[in-house]
Structure 1
Amino acid sequence: MGIDRRSVMSMIGFTLPAGAAVGAAVGTGIGAPATAQSSTGVADRQLRWLIGATRRVPVPADELAAHVAADTLAAIGGTDALNEVFAQVGALTAGRSLTDAATKAERLATAGAAQWVVTVEVDGTGLIAGLHFAGYHDTPRSWAELDRRARALAPNVSFAAARVGRDGHTALVHGIAPDTRRPLGSAFKLYVLGALADEIAAGRASWQEKLAIRDDWKSLPSGVLQDRPAGTELTLADFARYMISISDNTAADHLIHRVGRARVERELGRLGNADPAADLPFLTTRELFVLKGHDYPRLASRYQRLPVPARRAQLAAIDRVPLSAVTPWTTPRRVNGLEWFATPADICRALAGLSDRYRGAGMAPLGTAMSTNDQYIGLNRRRFPMVWYKGGSEPGVLTVNFLAGTDRGEQLAASLLLSDPERSLDEAALLPEVIALARGGLELAARR
């Protein structure tokens, strides 16, 4: 479902909706910094300036203005706010380059024992239009190390790493309870994207089709579209990009309504979910918010006791509950009963299925949606030029799911699903380690 973080200091590895991708992921690194690589790209030059600036805090306003676009600096909160971020991150030393493209550069960097993935994007004038600091943990060097570290994260852990064949089928390389069903959080949105892609391939929808935002289809954050006025029109491609890249719940619900709940439910099987019945009826995010945040636990208990047909009939009443009547919760609520569910092996198959759809004519927006946010995984993009990502979280649930394409034309998938039905998971503290394990799964699976 996601957690909305808007202040600069509290944003843990997430992107500002305004477009200035600033964050500071918590965590300490292990081991020595990598060796820096030389580069002549504009984005990388700005990145190396940024890393140097962290050693000269406070950086004068005129120097920041010479390197950071004015609207980006304003979105961050101004000169003082950016200097505060620099002070929090610490004095950095540049490490090896991960990405050096025309408009985007990414490097590892160290500050004492902490390691970071530092990312900048530049605009047409060469000024920094987006920046992000994400905590980096060392990549596991073996499956045994990955297993040990993964099992330490939560009471319930499932993992799968798989190779994706050219026929779209997956072959499991390694797993921890890979066929054990877990709650997904917002990773359920992969099935919504698949249903939309199939509707477009069948000619019943178009990426450029306009859909108006409706108040009765709005949900709660994560996301930004819930703040747009009713009647605002976006293309289905826009809804898909919001749904995947920033996990916009309102975007997901609009797409579920547009393609139809039954169509999404059929997509579970089409994308390889081994037990689609566990997700019936397929809930919107708004419905889950109501079930867990309104008249809890009475409403949730009554709903769960019903058979699937009666649950479907109950959804109409649930949809009439105003969002203002929903109270947020901070501890796990029925994560093993009221959620969306799949196994890591299921998710690898879903990612493979989406990749297969992407190869169809006119499916570029699917790839855009899946690749806009790579959760700062820290892969060397020369070796892994394509990275798709979708994660998910709610109290007691944290999942990360990746598809990566190598420079040799291989495709690999990794899915790590964590849950605790009793206690909330500390997402900010866990995320750098969780990302490191997913990175390790992809790199280990790529070995011959």
Structure 2
Amino acid sequence: MIRVLLPGVLAVVLLVMWAPIARAQTLERFRVPMRLPDETPSGRAAWAHLDRVVALVTGEEGAVFDEEALSPALKASVSVPQLREAVTGFASRNGGATALGRRLFDARTATVGLKTGADGKLWTLTVRVEEDEPHRIDLLALDAAPQPRPGGYDGWAVLDADLSTMGVAAGFSAWEVREDGSLRLLNRWRGDRLMSIGTASTLFVVGATADAVREGRARWDQTLAVESALVSVPPGRFAGFVGDEAPPVGEFTRAALAERDATASDHLLLRVVGREGAEARLRRTREEALRVTGADEAARARAMAAPMAPFLSIHELFKIKCTVDGFLVKEFAEATEVERRALLAPGGAVAESVAESQFVAAWRKPQDVLKVGWLATPDEMSIELARLWTLSREEGMDGLRYALGPAEGEAFDQRVWRSVAAVRGGEPGSIATAWVAERVDGRVFVVAMIVNDEWKPLDPRPAQRILLGVFGLLARVG
């Protein structure tokens, strides 16, 4: 694969082996008790290689390009001299480069954010190592990252103005999480707007899983076999465990939250907490959001009357919306809760449906996003993520701490932020994201943003620019 980099006015061609990170199906072995990826030999190697490559791309004095650190497969697929020039000359071509946040994506892949000195542009550097010893680099990529809003934000009012001119339905909510778990409101813009959150529904599945562990109905180290019948769409890394060893619930939880692994999320929903567990968690979160925001009785009645059940699995959403006949989505949209449960039950139309791969790949147009799927508000997403952060600090909730890391912090300056973790999801016509971030001074913040368009696909870039600007505001909160 050829990736064209445009640092300033000079185009540099970086050749890398064709192996998309998001589609990597290489399996990592799990054990009980759980271990973080950086405690594995490949994880430690990925960190070490990343440090050495960062020294090269930032122009650190004395840094040396080591050709022996590259795998035979990578060297066979690239021009090594051209790769050397692209890496070692990056800083000089861009007026310098500064490393931002680092993240171990999985037990083989490490990433770091970079900011160039000449134009302040953001980049993501990715290093992946071989699965087996000696864990040499088999993927090296440098890609342009989402860019912040020009000029940033000098106050919440400017953010609200941006949200109001997006031209689509949007909502935003930001809070500080105090040490005792209570919340301090920072800003809300239509934070009580009920919208489609798509596959970010995993947030409430993880919330229900945490409830089950806390109440003694499940354990983080409880193993769970991956079933072929529950392999989801997209399958995710956990699909490869069918017929293999059974990972612990804590690993499913981390994969569902940090990797957005649909198969892991669906197993938690249907084999650990049940639909009723996720429905109960969403209901309790909605009640808490109404209480915290001081909603009046009329608003409470409207919110609690909104549909919360049945809680779909991710695979079921695709089975409804990516079928041959196309009529199932309309039938489900018009059905009552009782009728929907019948459609989902064994022998029902959804249970018997197949998500056709060609329709999954081609799905771009929104389909009844406000009638079929999962609905929540920005307030609910931020308040639930704040609850999980607080719970993760309790004794016995190590699996939840594990699920909320490693942080998705490549674009965030590690001199300001100690950790940044995200819940992200959606579907055509829906983008939903919630972030929990801890500053180096110990202050913790949660933000959530949802964007919907019932009629056409969404461009994610405006939301990305807004969120990057939000973190500039949070860095200055006193």
TM-score, normalization by structure 1:
0.77
CA-to-aligned-CA distance 1:4-39 (integer Å, 9 cap, x gap): xxx979999x756368xxxxxxxxxxxxxxxxxxxx
5+ residue gaps, structure 1, are 1-6, 20-40, 54-61
- Residue 410 and residue 111 in structure 1: after superposition, are their counterparts in 2 closer, same or farther (change >3 A)? closer
- Residue 169 and residue 11 in structure 1: after superposition, are their counterparts in 2 closer, same or farther (change >3 A)? farther
Are the equivalent residues in 1 in contact too, given 2:49–2:127 (CA < 8 A)?
A: no
Corresponding residue for residue 241 of structure 1: 254
Aligned Cα root-mean-square deviation (Å): 3.9
Are the equivalent residues in 1 in contact too, given 2:409–2:420 (CA < 8 A)?
A: no
- Residue 79 and residue 154 in structure 1: after superposition, are their counterparts in 2 closer, same or farther (change >3 A)? farther
CA-to-aligned-CA distance 1:347-399 (integer Å, 9 cap, x gap): 111011101210221222212222224163x2222332122211112111122
Q: 1:350-361 to 2 correspondence within 5 Å?
A: 350-361=384-395
Corresponding residue for residue 417 of structure 2: 384
Q: Match of 2:313, as an amino acid?
A: T
Residues 1:137 and 2:148 are matched in the alignment: yes
Residues 1:370 and 2:369 are matched in the alignment: no
Q: 1:77 and 1:369 mapped to 2: Cα distance?
A: 37
Q: Match of 2:78, as an amino acid?
A: T
Residues 1:194 and 2:194 are matched in the alignment: no
State which of 169, 177, 183 in structure 1 corresponds to 2:182.
169
Residues 1:261 and 2:263 are matched in the alignment: no
Residues 1:436 and 2:473 are matched in the alignment: no
Are the equivalent residues in 2 in contact too, given 1:156–1:418 (CA < 8 A)?
A: yes
Are the equivalent residues in 2 in contact too, given 1:220–1:226 (CA < 8 A)?
A: no
Larger Cα Rg: Structure 1 or Structure 2? 2
Corresponding residue for residue 405 of structure 1: 438
Q: 2:101 and 2:401 mapped to 1: Cα distance?
A: 19
Q: 1:282-297 to 2 correspondence within 5 Å?
A: 282-295=311-324, 297=326
State which of 158, 170, 177 in structure 2 corresponds to 1:157.
170
Q: 1:78-93 to 2 correspondence within 5 Å?
A: 78-79=77-78, 83=83, 91-93=93-95
Corresponding residue for residue 365 of structure 2: 331
- Residue 324 and residue 424 in structure 1: after superposition, are their counterparts in 2 closer, same or farther (change >3 A)? closer
- Residue 100 and residue 280 in structure 1: after superposition, are their counterparts in 2 closer, same or farther (change >3 A)? closer
Q: Secondary structure at the match of 1:234?
A: coil
Q: 1:19-98 to 2 correspondence within 5 Å?
A: 43-51=50-58, 63=65, 65-68=67-70, 70=71, 74=74, 78-79=77-78, 83=83, 91-98=93-100
Q: 1:141 and 1:222 mapped to 2: Cα distance?
A: 42
Using the TM superposition, give the Cα deviation of residue 238 of structure 1 relative to its aligned residue in structure 2, in angstroms.
1.4
Using the TM superposition, give the Cα deviation of residue 416 of structure 1 relative to its aligned residue in structure 2, in angstroms.
1.3
Q: 2:319 and 2:396 mapped to 1: Cα distance?
A: 37
Moved more, 311-320 or 90-99: 90-99
- Residue 132 and residue 263 in structure 1: after superposition, are their counterparts in 2 closer, same or farther (change >3 A)? farther
Q: Secondary structure at the match of 2:399?
A: helix
Q: 2:241 and 2:315 mapped to 1: Cα distance?
A: 16
- Residue 306 and residue 52 in structure 1: after superposition, are their counterparts in 2 closer, same or farther (change >3 A)? same
Q: 2:368 and 2:17 mapped to 1: Cα distance?
A: 31
Q: Match of 2:181, as an amino acid?
A: G
Moved more, 42-51 or 394-403: 42-51
Are the equivalent residues in 2 in contact too, given 1:51–1:93 (CA < 8 A)?
A: no
State which of 406, 420, 425 in structure 1 corresponds to 2:458.
425
Residues 1:320 and 2:331 are matched in the alignment: no
- Residue 113 and residue 410 in structure 1: after superposition, are their counterparts in 2 closer, same or farther (change >3 A)? closer
Moved more, 177-186 or 229-238: 229-238
Corresponding residue for residue 43 of structure 2: none
- Residue 145 and residue 67 in structure 1: after superposition, are their counterparts in 2 closer, same or farther (change >3 A)? farther
Using the TM superposition, give the Cα deviation of residue 279 of structure 1 relative to its aligned residue in structure 2, in angstroms.
2.5
Q: 2:166 and 2:51 mapped to 1: Cα distance?
A: 34
Equivalences, count: 404
Q: Match of 1:290, as an amino acid?
A: K
Q: 2:187 and 2:76 mapped to 1: Cα distance?
A: 45
Q: Match of 2:368, as an amino acid?
A: R
Using the TM superposition, give the Cα deviation of residue 215 of structure 1 relative to its aligned residue in structure 2, in angstroms.
1.6
Corresponding residue for residue 33 of structure 1: none
- Residue 109 and residue 386 in structure 1: after superposition, are their counterparts in 2 closer, same or farther (change >3 A)? closer
Are the equivalent residues in 1 in contact too, given 2:101–2:409 (CA < 8 A)?
A: no
Using the TM superposition, give the Cα deviation of residue 326 of structure 1 relative to its aligned residue in structure 2, in angstroms.
7.5
Are the equivalent residues in 2 in contact too, given 1:294–1:325 (CA < 8 A)?
A: no
Are the equivalent residues in 1 in contact too, given 2:112–2:124 (CA < 8 A)?
A: yes
Identity of aligned residues (%): 24
Moved more, 175-184 or 290-299: 290-299
Residues 1:109 and 2:115 are matched in the alignment: yes
Using the TM superposition, give the Cα deviation of residue 119 of structure 1 relative to its aligned residue in structure 2, in angstroms.
4.2
Are the equivalent residues in 1 in contact too, given 2:266–2:313 (CA < 8 A)?
A: yes
State which of 202, 213, 216 in structure 2 corresponds to 1:203.
216
Q: 2:85 and 2:235 mapped to 1: Cα distance?
A: 23
Q: Secondary structure at the match of 2:412?
A: coil
Corresponding residue for residue 340 of structure 1: 374
Moved more, 112-121 or 413-422: 112-121
Corresponding residue for residue 39 of structure 2: none
Q: 2:261 and 2:102 mapped to 1: Cα distance?
A: 29
- Residue 360 and residue 130 in structure 1: after superposition, are their counterparts in 2 closer, same or farther (change >3 A)? farther
Corresponding residue for residue 284 of structure 2: 270
- Residue 145 and residue 95 in structure 1: after superposition, are their counterparts in 2 closer, same or farther (change >3 A)? farther
CA-to-aligned-CA distance 1:83-118 (integer Å, 9 cap, x gap): 59969x995443444347999784533387571243
Q: 1:122 and 1:165 mapped to 2: Cα distance?
A: 37
